[in-house]
Amino acid sequence: MILTVPKKGLHTRANVMGQLAERTHTLMTGQTNATLLQEVVIEEVPEAMRPTVHYLQKESTRLNKIPRKLYTSYEKMAAKAPALWQEARQKK
């Protein structure tokens, strides 16, 4: 499913997605988050929450390998891509 974004809103949406990505990166790579994720005793976590804990641990590790600016730029481009692709297809 492709979301149609008005042309005038494309850059605003991309900037908002960039800000969210930057904030996410900051939170996921921060020392507090790293400490909490390291201290988790998986056996003490309710079984329904274990996949979430594993996801957060993997995501934190992944984001620590990516510079914040690069991640933010990528997310901005990814937010613009569907609309730009749709426009290019219409122009053939």
What is the per-residue DSSP string for 69-91? Answer: HHHHHHHHHHHHHHHHHHHHHHH
Q: What pLDDT does residue 90 have?
A: 84
In this predicted model, what pLDDT tens digit does every residue of 35-86 receive, in sequence order?
Answer: 999 899 989 999 999 999 999 999 999 999 999 999 999 999 998 888 888 8
Q: Is a pLDDT exceeding 80 seen at residue 18?
A: yes
Q: Is a pLDDT exceeding 70 seen at residue 4?
A: no
Sequence letter at residue 37: L
Upper half-sphere CA count for residue 12 (Cβ side, 13 Å): 5
Q: What pLDDT does residue 58 have?
A: 94
Q: What pLDDT does residue 3 have?
A: 58
